[in-house]
Structure 1
Amino acid sequence: MEGLNDFLLYPLEELPFLALVLIIAFTLHEFAHAYAAYKFGDDTAYKLGRVTLNPAVHLDVFGTLLILIAGFGWAKPVPVNPLRFKRPRLMNIVVAVVGPLSNLLLMAFGVLMVNILNSTGILHDAPERVIDALNIFFKYFIYMNGMLFLFNLLPLPPLDGYRIVYELLPKRTRIILDQYSQWGIFIFLLLVFIPALNRATIGPYLSLVGDLHNMLRSFFSLFF
């Protein structure tokens, strides 16, 4: 067990809480993409059964396990055909945005619940193991959803941030990007797996999760 703990980024005893959080976060993220695309007129994901809250449809086993080892991961991407939208560029941006936005809303919900539990004292007489379990769950619930929100906004393929930036650029620039987009995934993997590059680029960016958490906590503290 000790050897396995050394291999993982997170304590072995906390993995069930982390797994539950990832199931919720990934499922809502991909469902948001699929549902928005379907409502805008693209039934590609709908025909594949992706407009559902069933986690089994959305989760990628390797992508989920990779979070435990490398600190990042993914779910099965939702296929989107922007040509079926009435306003392809605008609606493609919205479809891309709603995924990360779902994680931001989940993060805000987690911070709100912690504020409510702390301010009301509703758990004052609860068993210590229950309090510890809730603390661990919400710790991961808030951090992971904040991380997924920020991470997916990075302007690198295949992340949502790239789709957003891509649609905002002029046609000439998009044509140039199309010629090199196949290399984007390799740049993305280099930034993630090479420690020096990760610390210089993605690491500082994801440190904003703490700032975002503090902002949400300060906001909700105005009401509780």
Structure 2
Amino acid sequence: TGGAFAERGTLLSTLKVSVGEPGFWYSLLFTAVILIFGIRRIARRKTPYVKLQTWTLFAIQALPLFLLPYLLLPWLGSNGAFDGGWGEWVADQLFPIVDSGHGREYWRAFGLILAWPLFFWNVFSDQPLTGWLVISFLQTFLLIPWLVRRWGKGAYCGWICSCGALAETLGDAHREKMPHGPVFNRLNMIGQVFLAIAFLILSVRVISWLLPQTTIGEMSASLYRSMLDGVPRK
């Protein structure tokens, strides 16, 4: 077993590096919570719909939001999948090279499921990442609106989003505790405030990219950094 952990290109050696990243443990804990409370939800609500929805939420959390960024992509990278050809081109667009960890920012794969501004680091980056800008635009302004129009807002929030997964599993037994009434319904609109803030940050980030050597560009960059200072990236 020690040799497998030390030998480059094995799943165990990949895991050895991943466990050194805080995000690995956060995602593992999140996935475990979805599984444990999801099983409890299925046992409590014995319907085919709940069973299918819960296992779908768990599968999305476990595969693209945990195994993909922390095991599968790094393992492929350590075996040369991103060292040349189209694999290297795709990786360069989505997972920039770094001098730590697995050598690339594979944690950005969260953005394949979590659209901007839910997961904003692929858009709020030091330098514009064209691949993620395109993906984020398609997700936020085309794909999700189409899903909502076709099946309602629960199509994304209740079947794909990890926040929805937590609400449907951990929060399932506490639905009756949610306060109701006109005041609390208005408080629910606070999400629109955070959305406005996200658009403000996006605006100053874009200005700083487009006008890097100007006064307004430098002011925008400074404002952007002050807004996100201290927010963890992974």
**TM-score normalised by the chain length of structure 2:** 0.33
Instruction: State which structure, 1 or 2, has the greater radius of gyration over its C-alpha atoms.
Output: 2
* More helix per residue: 1
**TM-score normalised by the chain length of structure 1:** 0.34
